[in-house]
Amino acid sequence: MSSRQLDHFVSDKPFDPMAVEDLTPEQERLYLASQWQLMWWKLRRHRLAVVSGLVLLVFYLVAILAEFVAPYDLSYP
């Protein structure tokens, strides 16, 4: 076994569960964000994911508007 000292810290102050921790505005924004907001912020940082999502959106729109986008009617010979 190693006699190396562990690298953790224990405070000498008594624990106060009612103490309020001061948060920076950035920490408060992350703390109050919903899971959807956290997921959206993370997704927006990935350019490939955003571009792929836009391509899928275009494909879905073309599929929905296929009747309008098609150059010929189905009965056209």
As a three-state string, the secondary structure of the chain is: CCCCCCCCCCCCCCCCCCCCCCCCHHHHHHHHCCHHHHHHHHHHCCHHHHHHHHHHHHHHHHHHCHHHHCCCCCCCC
Q: What is the pLDDT of residues 25-44, one digit of tens each?
A: 888 898 899 999 999 999 99
Tell me which amino acid residue 55 is.
Answer: V
The 10s digit of each residue's pLDDT in 3-19 is 677 777 787 888 888 88
Q: Per-residue pLDDT for 74 more than 80?
A: no
